[in-house]
Amino acid sequence: MKRDILRWCRTCLACQKAKVSRHNKRAPGKFDMPEHRFDHVHMDLIILPNVNNFRYCLTMMDRFSRWPEAIPLKDISADTVATAFYTHWIARFGCPKTITTDQGTQFESALFRSLTNLVGAKRIHTTPYHPCSNGLIERWHRALKSSLMCHTGSSWVELLPTVLIGLRTCYKEDIQASAAEMLYGTTLRVPGEFFLNEDLPTDTQVFLEKFRQHMRLIRPIPTAHHYKPKIFQFKDLFNCSHVFLRTDSVKKPLENPYSGPYQVVERRNDVFTILINNERVNISIDRLKPAYRIQEDLTQSTNAPVVEPTPLRTYRGPKKKKVSFFELPAGQS
Protein backbone atom coordinates (compact mmCIF):
# COMPACT_ATOMS: atom_id res chain seq x y z
CA MET A 1 0.00 0.00 0.00
CA LYS A 2 2.81 2.43 0.82
CA ARG A 3 4.36 1.91 -2.61
CA ASP A 4 1.01 2.55 -4.30
CA ILE A 5 0.51 5.74 -2.31
CA LEU A 6 3.96 7.01 -3.28
CA ARG A 7 3.27 6.19 -6.93
CA TRP A 8 -0.09 7.96 -6.81
CA CYS A 9 1.45 11.09 -5.26
CA ARG A 10 4.23 11.16 -7.82
CA THR A 11 1.77 11.07 -10.73
CA CYS A 12 -0.23 14.07 -9.47
CA LEU A 13 -0.21 16.56 -12.36
CA ALA A 14 -0.93 19.59 -10.17
CA CYS A 15 2.01 18.80 -7.89
CA GLN A 16 4.37 18.24 -10.81
CA LYS A 17 3.52 21.65 -12.28
CA ALA A 18 3.82 23.48 -8.95
CA LYS A 19 6.88 21.88 -7.35
CA VAL A 20 10.47 22.33 -8.49
CA SER A 21 12.75 19.46 -7.50
CA ARG A 22 15.76 20.02 -9.75
CA HIS A 23 16.32 21.58 -13.15
CA ASN A 24 17.70 19.64 -16.07
CA LYS A 25 21.24 20.74 -17.00
CA ARG A 26 22.95 19.33 -20.06
CA ALA A 27 26.60 19.56 -21.04
CA PRO A 28 27.62 22.67 -23.04
CA GLY A 29 27.39 22.23 -26.80
CA LYS A 30 29.95 23.16 -29.42
CA PHE A 31 29.79 25.07 -32.70
CA ASP A 32 31.72 23.99 -35.76
CA MET A 33 34.78 26.18 -36.13
CA PRO A 34 34.61 28.50 -39.19
CA GLU A 35 37.31 28.20 -41.82
CA HIS A 36 37.62 31.91 -42.65
CA ARG A 37 36.95 35.28 -41.07
CA PHE A 38 33.35 36.51 -41.10
CA ASP A 39 31.99 33.08 -42.08
CA HIS A 40 29.90 32.86 -38.91
CA VAL A 41 28.36 35.92 -37.25
CA HIS A 42 26.32 36.04 -34.02
CA MET A 43 23.65 38.75 -33.63
CA ASP A 44 21.45 40.01 -30.82
CA LEU A 45 19.57 43.08 -29.58
CA ILE A 46 19.87 44.71 -26.14
CA ILE A 47 17.90 47.47 -24.43
CA LEU A 48 19.78 50.45 -22.97
CA PRO A 49 18.69 53.76 -21.37
CA ASN A 50 16.99 56.24 -23.68
CA VAL A 51 19.49 58.82 -24.98
CA ASN A 52 18.29 61.12 -27.77
CA ASN A 53 15.68 58.50 -28.72
CA PHE A 54 18.33 55.77 -28.94
CA ARG A 55 17.02 52.93 -26.77
CA TYR A 56 18.40 49.80 -28.44
CA CYS A 57 21.72 48.44 -29.63
CA LEU A 58 22.34 45.85 -32.32
CA THR A 59 25.34 43.72 -31.38
CA MET A 60 27.25 41.45 -33.77
CA MET A 61 30.38 39.32 -33.40
CA ASP A 62 32.52 37.27 -35.76
CA ARG A 63 33.10 33.79 -34.38
CA PHE A 64 36.53 33.41 -36.02
CA SER A 65 38.20 36.60 -34.79
CA ARG A 66 35.80 37.64 -31.95
CA TRP A 67 35.53 41.06 -33.65
CA PRO A 68 32.52 42.90 -32.17
CA GLU A 69 30.24 45.57 -33.58
CA ALA A 70 27.56 47.57 -31.75
CA ILE A 71 25.16 49.94 -33.52
CA PRO A 72 22.76 52.25 -31.63
CA LEU A 73 19.16 52.07 -32.88
CA LYS A 74 16.08 54.16 -32.24
CA ASP A 75 13.71 51.29 -32.95
CA ILE A 76 14.01 47.56 -33.54
CA SER A 77 11.67 47.11 -36.46
CA ALA A 78 12.59 44.50 -39.04
CA ASP A 79 13.45 47.21 -41.57
CA THR A 80 15.79 49.04 -39.18
CA VAL A 81 17.60 45.89 -38.05
CA ALA A 82 18.04 44.55 -41.58
CA THR A 83 19.33 47.92 -42.83
CA ALA A 84 21.82 48.23 -39.95
CA PHE A 85 23.10 44.70 -40.53
CA TYR A 86 23.61 45.31 -44.24
CA THR A 87 25.19 48.77 -43.78
CA HIS A 88 27.52 48.05 -40.87
CA TRP A 89 28.44 44.42 -41.47
CA ILE A 90 27.78 43.08 -44.97
CA ALA A 91 28.99 46.27 -46.70
CA ARG A 92 32.25 46.20 -44.69
CA PHE A 93 33.07 42.53 -44.14
CA GLY A 94 31.13 40.74 -46.87
CA CYS A 95 28.36 38.16 -46.75
CA PRO A 96 28.56 35.57 -43.95
CA LYS A 97 27.86 31.90 -44.48
CA THR A 98 26.08 31.38 -41.15
CA ILE A 99 24.05 33.76 -38.96
CA THR A 100 23.04 32.81 -35.41
CA THR A 101 20.19 34.74 -33.77
CA ASP A 102 17.44 34.21 -31.25
CA GLN A 103 13.77 33.95 -32.16
CA GLY A 104 13.05 37.67 -31.97
CA THR A 105 10.38 39.00 -34.29
CA GLN A 106 12.98 41.13 -36.08
CA PHE A 107 15.06 38.09 -37.03
CA GLU A 108 12.05 35.91 -37.82
CA SER A 109 10.47 38.49 -40.14
CA ALA A 110 10.05 37.89 -43.86
CA LEU A 111 12.34 40.86 -44.62
CA PHE A 112 15.28 39.52 -42.63
CA ARG A 113 14.68 36.05 -44.02
CA SER A 114 14.75 37.44 -47.54
CA LEU A 115 18.01 39.27 -46.76
CA THR A 116 19.69 36.09 -45.54
CA ASN A 117 18.49 34.23 -48.63
CA LEU A 118 19.79 37.04 -50.84
CA VAL A 119 23.30 36.90 -49.39
CA GLY A 120 23.25 33.09 -49.28
CA ALA A 121 23.59 32.75 -45.51
CA LYS A 122 22.39 29.82 -43.43
CA ARG A 123 20.34 31.00 -40.47
CA ILE A 124 20.48 29.31 -37.06
CA HIS A 125 17.93 30.41 -34.47
CA THR A 126 18.16 29.38 -30.84
CA THR A 127 15.39 27.78 -28.83
CA PRO A 128 13.12 30.08 -26.77
CA TYR A 129 14.42 31.34 -23.39
CA HIS A 130 17.79 29.66 -23.88
CA PRO A 131 20.43 32.41 -24.22
CA CYS A 132 23.39 30.06 -23.75
CA SER A 133 22.73 28.73 -27.26
CA ASN A 134 24.01 32.12 -28.44
CA GLY A 135 26.47 32.41 -25.59
CA LEU A 136 29.32 34.05 -27.53
CA ILE A 137 27.44 37.32 -28.00
CA GLU A 138 25.39 37.01 -24.78
CA ARG A 139 28.54 36.76 -22.65
CA TRP A 140 30.07 39.74 -24.46
CA HIS A 141 27.08 41.85 -23.42
CA ARG A 142 28.32 41.67 -19.83
CA ALA A 143 31.70 43.13 -20.79
CA LEU A 144 30.05 45.81 -22.92
CA LYS A 145 27.61 46.94 -20.23
CA SER A 146 30.19 46.89 -17.45
CA SER A 147 32.55 49.01 -19.58
CA LEU A 148 29.79 51.53 -20.25
CA MET A 149 28.90 51.72 -16.56
CA CYS A 150 32.52 52.50 -15.63
CA HIS A 151 32.21 55.88 -17.38
CA THR A 152 30.05 58.48 -15.65
CA GLY A 153 28.79 61.80 -16.92
CA SER A 154 28.41 60.84 -20.59
CA SER A 155 25.74 59.04 -22.55
CA TRP A 156 26.34 55.49 -23.71
CA VAL A 157 25.91 56.58 -27.34
CA GLU A 158 28.92 58.90 -27.05
CA LEU A 159 30.98 56.36 -25.10
CA LEU A 160 30.26 53.42 -27.38
CA PRO A 161 33.11 54.02 -29.93
CA THR A 162 35.69 54.41 -27.16
CA VAL A 163 34.48 51.31 -25.36
CA LEU A 164 34.52 49.31 -28.58
CA ILE A 165 38.14 50.13 -29.39
CA GLY A 166 39.07 49.02 -25.89
CA LEU A 167 37.23 45.70 -26.21
CA ARG A 168 38.70 45.08 -29.66
CA THR A 169 42.29 45.64 -28.53
CA CYS A 170 42.20 43.94 -25.12
CA TYR A 171 44.10 40.67 -24.80
CA LYS A 172 41.97 37.52 -24.45
CA GLU A 173 43.39 34.60 -22.53
CA ASP A 174 41.34 31.94 -24.32
CA ILE A 175 42.49 32.88 -27.84
CA GLN A 176 45.93 34.19 -26.75
CA ALA A 177 45.42 37.36 -28.82
CA SER A 178 43.10 40.32 -29.23
CA ALA A 179 40.21 40.57 -31.67
CA ALA A 180 42.18 43.14 -33.68
CA GLU A 181 45.16 40.78 -33.99
CA MET A 182 42.92 37.93 -35.15
CA LEU A 183 41.36 40.22 -37.74
CA TYR A 184 44.22 42.41 -39.01
CA GLY A 185 47.25 40.35 -38.02
CA THR A 186 48.66 43.18 -35.89
CA THR A 187 47.70 45.31 -32.92
CA LEU A 188 45.88 48.62 -33.23
CA ARG A 189 47.46 51.87 -32.13
CA VAL A 190 45.29 53.24 -29.35
CA PRO A 191 45.21 56.75 -27.81
CA GLY A 192 47.89 57.24 -25.16
CA GLU A 193 50.05 54.33 -26.30
CA PHE A 194 53.42 54.35 -24.50
CA PHE A 195 55.51 52.20 -26.80
CA LEU A 196 55.72 52.71 -30.55
CA ASN A 197 57.36 50.30 -32.97
CA GLU A 198 59.27 52.35 -35.51
CA ASP A 199 61.34 49.44 -36.89
CA LEU A 200 59.05 48.74 -39.85
CA PRO A 201 60.46 47.28 -43.07
CA THR A 202 61.03 49.89 -45.73
CA ASP A 203 60.60 47.48 -48.64
CA THR A 204 56.89 47.20 -49.43
CA GLN A 205 57.18 43.81 -51.11
CA VAL A 206 59.03 42.29 -48.16
CA PHE A 207 56.45 43.66 -45.74
CA LEU A 208 53.53 42.33 -47.79
CA GLU A 209 55.09 38.87 -48.09
CA LYS A 210 55.68 38.64 -44.34
CA PHE A 211 52.17 39.91 -43.70
CA ARG A 212 50.66 37.25 -45.97
CA GLN A 213 52.62 34.51 -44.24
CA HIS A 214 51.52 35.76 -40.84
CA MET A 215 47.85 35.88 -41.83
CA ARG A 216 47.99 32.31 -43.16
CA LEU A 217 49.16 31.10 -39.76
CA ILE A 218 46.18 32.59 -37.93
CA ARG A 219 43.67 29.87 -37.06
CA PRO A 220 40.40 30.06 -35.14
CA ILE A 221 40.41 28.91 -31.53
CA PRO A 222 37.34 27.26 -29.98
CA THR A 223 35.64 28.97 -27.10
CA ALA A 224 36.80 28.01 -23.61
CA HIS A 225 34.52 27.04 -20.73
CA HIS A 226 35.61 29.08 -17.72
CA TYR A 227 33.81 26.86 -15.23
CA LYS A 228 32.81 23.24 -14.94
CA PRO A 229 29.02 23.03 -15.08
CA LYS A 230 27.16 20.53 -12.96
CA ILE A 231 25.43 18.25 -15.43
CA PHE A 232 22.10 16.71 -14.46
CA GLN A 233 19.52 14.88 -16.52
CA PHE A 234 16.31 13.13 -15.54
CA LYS A 235 16.60 9.40 -16.16
CA ASP A 236 13.13 9.15 -17.71
CA LEU A 237 13.41 12.24 -19.94
CA PHE A 238 14.27 10.34 -23.13
CA ASN A 239 11.62 7.66 -22.53
CA CYS A 240 8.59 9.69 -21.47
CA SER A 241 5.62 10.41 -23.72
CA HIS A 242 4.82 13.83 -22.19
CA VAL A 243 6.93 16.55 -20.59
CA PHE A 244 6.44 19.67 -18.49
CA LEU A 245 7.83 22.98 -19.79
CA ARG A 246 9.50 25.42 -17.38
CA THR A 247 8.20 28.99 -17.62
CA ASP A 248 11.22 31.31 -17.74
CA SER A 249 9.30 34.54 -18.29
CA VAL A 250 8.22 36.82 -15.45
CA LYS A 251 5.52 34.94 -13.56
CA LYS A 252 2.50 36.28 -11.74
CA PRO A 253 1.93 35.51 -8.05
CA LEU A 254 0.88 31.88 -7.47
CA GLU A 255 1.58 31.00 -11.10
CA ASN A 256 2.93 27.51 -11.64
CA PRO A 257 6.61 27.34 -12.62
CA TYR A 258 5.80 24.60 -15.15
CA SER A 259 3.12 24.25 -17.81
CA GLY A 260 1.85 21.17 -19.55
CA PRO A 261 2.04 18.27 -19.88
CA TYR A 262 2.86 18.40 -23.61
CA GLN A 263 3.24 15.50 -26.00
CA VAL A 264 6.75 14.75 -27.27
CA VAL A 265 6.85 14.47 -31.06
CA GLU A 266 10.57 14.23 -31.78
CA ARG A 267 13.73 13.81 -29.71
CA ARG A 268 17.26 14.93 -30.42
CA ASN A 269 20.32 15.09 -28.20
CA ASP A 270 19.61 18.50 -26.69
CA VAL A 271 16.33 19.64 -28.27
CA PHE A 272 12.84 18.13 -28.08
CA THR A 273 9.95 18.90 -30.42
CA ILE A 274 6.69 19.13 -28.48
CA LEU A 275 3.11 20.01 -29.36
CA ILE A 276 1.90 23.30 -27.86
CA ASN A 277 -1.60 24.29 -29.02
CA ASN A 278 -1.25 21.84 -31.94
CA GLU A 279 1.99 23.53 -33.08
CA ARG A 280 5.40 21.89 -33.20
CA VAL A 281 7.85 23.85 -31.04
CA ASN A 282 11.55 23.10 -30.51
CA ILE A 283 12.52 23.36 -26.84
CA SER A 284 15.89 22.84 -25.15
CA ILE A 285 15.95 19.94 -22.72
CA ASP A 286 17.19 22.32 -20.00
CA ARG A 287 13.61 23.60 -19.70
CA LEU A 288 11.92 20.19 -19.65
CA LYS A 289 11.19 17.53 -17.09
CA PRO A 290 9.36 14.22 -17.59
CA ALA A 291 5.65 14.00 -16.83
CA TYR A 292 4.67 10.95 -14.82
CA ARG A 293 1.13 9.88 -15.66
CA ILE A 294 -1.03 6.89 -14.95
CA GLN A 295 -2.69 5.02 -17.78
CA GLU A 296 -6.18 6.35 -17.02
CA ASP A 297 -5.02 9.97 -17.44
CA LEU A 298 -4.24 9.58 -21.14
CA THR A 299 -7.17 10.95 -23.12
CA GLN A 300 -5.58 10.55 -26.53
CA SER A 301 -3.43 7.84 -28.01
CA THR A 302 0.22 8.62 -28.61
CA ASN A 303 2.95 6.84 -30.49
CA ALA A 304 5.42 7.29 -27.67
CA PRO A 305 5.26 4.76 -24.85
CA VAL A 306 3.68 5.63 -21.54
CA VAL A 307 6.32 5.83 -18.84
CA GLU A 308 5.49 4.75 -15.36
CA PRO A 309 7.47 6.38 -12.56
CA THR A 310 10.74 4.81 -11.55
CA PRO A 311 10.05 2.44 -8.64
CA LEU A 312 10.62 4.19 -5.35
CA ARG A 313 12.59 2.65 -2.53
CA THR A 314 10.68 2.85 0.71
CA TYR A 315 13.80 2.09 2.79
CA ARG A 316 17.15 3.72 1.99
CA GLY A 317 19.29 2.19 4.71
CA PRO A 318 21.50 -0.89 4.50
CA LYS A 319 19.84 -4.16 3.70
CA LYS A 320 18.97 -6.13 6.83
CA LYS A 321 19.56 -9.81 7.16
CA LYS A 322 16.47 -11.96 7.18
CA VAL A 323 15.78 -13.36 10.65
CA SER A 324 14.78 -17.03 10.74
CA PHE A 325 13.51 -18.98 13.79
CA PHE A 326 13.83 -22.68 14.40
CA GLU A 327 12.37 -24.97 17.04
CA LEU A 328 14.58 -26.29 19.82
CA PRO A 329 14.63 -30.03 20.55
CA ALA A 330 12.32 -31.27 23.28
CA GLY A 331 13.68 -30.83 26.76
CA GLN A 332 15.83 -27.76 25.93
CA SER A 333 14.96 -24.22 26.87
- pLDDT tier for residue 301 given thresholds of 50, 70 and 90: very low
Residues 6+ apart with CB under 8 A from 228: none
Q: Bigger pLDDT: 93 or 331?
A: 93
Mean pLDDT taken over the chain: 78
- pLDDT tier for residue 271 given thresholds of 50, 70 and 90: confident
Residues in the chain: 333
- pLDDT tier for residue 312 given thresholds of 50, 70 and 90: very low
Is-contact 125 147, C-beta < 8 A? no
Q: Bigger pLDDT: 297 or 330?
A: 330
Query: What is the per-residue pLDDT for 233?
Result: 76
Query: What is the per-residue pLDDT for 235?
Result: 80
Q: What number is the average pLDDT over the span 118-131?
A: 84
The answer to which of 28-32, 124-128, 162-166, 316-320 has the lowest mean pLDDT is 316-320
Query: What is the per-residue pLDDT for 1?
Result: 74
Query: What is the per-residue pLDDT for 178?
Result: 84
What pLDDT digit, counting tens, does each position of 135-157 carry?
888 889 998 998 888 877 778 99
Q: Is the pLDDT of residue 243 over 60?
A: yes
Q: Bigger pLDDT: 224 or 146?
A: 146
Q: What number is the average pLDDT over the span 292-320?
A: 52
Enumerate domains of the chain plus CATH numbers.
Answer: 2-26+230-297 (2.30.30.140), 40-187 (3.30.420.10)
What pLDDT digit, counting tens, does each position of 21-44 carry?
777 777 666 667 777 888 899 999
Most confident of 43-52, 254-263, 299-308: 43-52
Q: Is the pLDDT of residue 309 over 60?
A: no
Burial (Cβ within 10 Å: 0-12, 13-18, ≥19) of residue 155: middle
Q: Is the pLDDT of residue 303 over 70?
A: no
Query: What is the per-residue pLDDT for 58?
Result: 94
What pLDDT digit, counting tens, does each position of 43-93 carry?
999 999 999 999 999 999 998 888 999 999 999 999 999 999 999 999 999
**Cis ω for the linkage preceding 261 (within 30 of 0):** yes
Query: What is the per-residue pLDDT for 149?
Result: 87
Q: Bigger pLDDT: 264 or 131?
A: 264
Query: What is the per-residue pLDDT for 41?
Result: 92
Q: What number is the average pLDDT over the span 234-252?
A: 83
